[in-house]
Amino acid sequence: MIGADDGGHIMVTGDVGAFPVHAHETIFREVTPMKITRKVKAILDNYGADSPGVKANLARILMQGKLGGTGKLVILPVDQGFEHGPARSFAVNPDAYDPHYHYQLAIDAGLSAYAAPLGMIEAGADKFAGQIPTIMKINSSNSLARGGDAPSQAITGSVAEALRLGCSAVGFTIYPGSDAAFDMIGQFQDMAAEAKALGLAVVLWSYPRGGGLSKPGETALDVAAYAAHMAALLGAHIIKVKPPSDHLEQDAARAVYESVGVDRTTLAERTRHIMQASFAGRRIVVFSGGAAKDREGLMEEIRGLRDGGANGSIIGRNTFQRPREEALDLLSEIIGIYKTGS
């Protein structure tokens, strides 16, 4: 700790004792290193092909906040302004128009990371530097565009910008099932290769939609598992998918699911299958919160995800659309649910 004595001398106290220094002198001080827990070390060991830089950034996320060291995560994503527009995203809680509000919410709630597009990261990167790991969302869609059978997203950020702003990871969305999916996958591969080469972790939102998928099919168990597995195959470090329903979309997959008796009766069992599809749990998988829902419905969903072995949740509208104190209380309850299963 740095302070001053009665004579106005600068004093440094801490692990190396207390001593006076002059303002022009360089201060050397022992810093306690971040201690990686066994659970986090076991997770990092699953990424044996990755560089020390990537692993260090994954460790920063896994060791951050109230769930630090448990192997569980709760991340705040705020990309809804792109996806749904400002009023639909923030009018219900006007404080949320301010990017600093989201940084502070994530920090005060003790979350694992904060994910947002370029502009929102830029708006608070200096003021909140080092206080919480950030994930720059590099592509985005918007509700003014016509997706049809080929929904896609525009590139709205870059690996270079993420490095400039001190991000720990970059995020990207693909739409398995879309007629534009192959192009999105190619873009992701280019971005992921650049990010990994420079030591950044890679988060992939794998959201089935478009093409011949029905609306229920977007969260069908067989499709969600396919999307998670595809993300793992593409080399994502952290996979984001939606909580799966018990619906089966593909006839060929239904025949297999029914013949081998894959249990899809509860969210916990369906989550367990998603984890199985993600390299038998060797990849970090977090689940979205989706559209705003009542508190008990959300907590029931979180408990199901926890019981199925999920690594955590990435939850936006269900938190920042509530008043700040209510959001903090809700996030505290979510963190508590994951802690009991860690």
Answer with the residue of higher pLDDT: 28 or 38.
38
161 by Cβ neighbours in 10 Å (0-12 / 13-18 / 19+) ranks as middle
- Confirm whether 55 is a catalytic residue: no
pLDDT in the model for residue 23: 40
Mean pLDDT, residues 305-326: 96
pLDDT at 7 over 80: no
Residues 316 and 289 sit within 8 Å (Cβ to Cβ): yes
- Cα–Cα dist 302/296, whole Å: 10
Mean pLDDT, residues 204-222: 97
DSSP code, position 120: H
pLDDT at 20 over 70: no
pLDDT in the model for residue 32: 53
Mean pLDDT, residues 79-102: 95
- Confirm whether 240 is a catalytic residue: yes
Q: Given the structure tokens 């076991």, which residue do they identify?
A: 42
The 10s digit of each residue's pLDDT in 170-182 is: 999 999 999 999 9
251 by Cβ neighbours in 10 Å (0-12 / 13-18 / 19+) ranks as exposed
Mean pLDDT, residues 215-222: 97
Domains of the chain: 1-32 (no CATH), 35-340 (3.20.20.70)
Mean pLDDT, residues 90-119: 97
pLDDT in the model for residue 33: 62
Residue 149: other Cβ atoms inside 10 A: 13
Mean pLDDT, residues 40-62: 98
Paired tokens of 219: 């969260």
Q: Given the structure tokens 């801490």, which residue do they identify?
A: 14
Quote the pTM value. Answer: 0.90
Catalytic residue among 55, 137, 196, 240: 240
pLDDT in the model for residue 291: 67
Catalytic residue among 101, 175, 207, 226: 207
Mean pLDDT, residues 303-321: 96
47 by Cβ neighbours in 10 Å (0-12 / 13-18 / 19+) ranks as middle
List Cα–Cα distances, 65 to 68, 258, 321, in angstroms: 5, 41, 21
pLDDT tier, 143 (very low <50, low <70, confident <90, very high otherwise) = confident
Residues 201 and 237 sit within 8 Å (Cβ to Cβ): yes
pLDDT in the model for residue 293: 77
The 10s digit of each residue's pLDDT in 280-311 is: 999 999 999 866 679 999 999 999 999 999 99
The 10s digit of each residue's pLDDT in 243-287 is: 999 999 999 999 999 999 999 999 999 999 999 999 999 999 999
The alpha-helical segments, DSSP class H, found in the chain are 38-44, 52-62, 80-84, 86-90, 99-109, 118-125, 159-164, 181-197, 221-233, 251-260, 267-277, 295-307, 317-320, 324-340
pLDDT in the model for residue 146: 82
pLDDT in the model for residue 113: 98
Residues 274 and 241 sit within 8 Å (Cβ to Cβ): yes
pLDDT tier, 341 (very low <50, low <70, confident <90, very high otherwise) = confident
pLDDT in the model for residue 147: 78
Residues 79 and 140 sit within 8 Å (Cβ to Cβ): yes
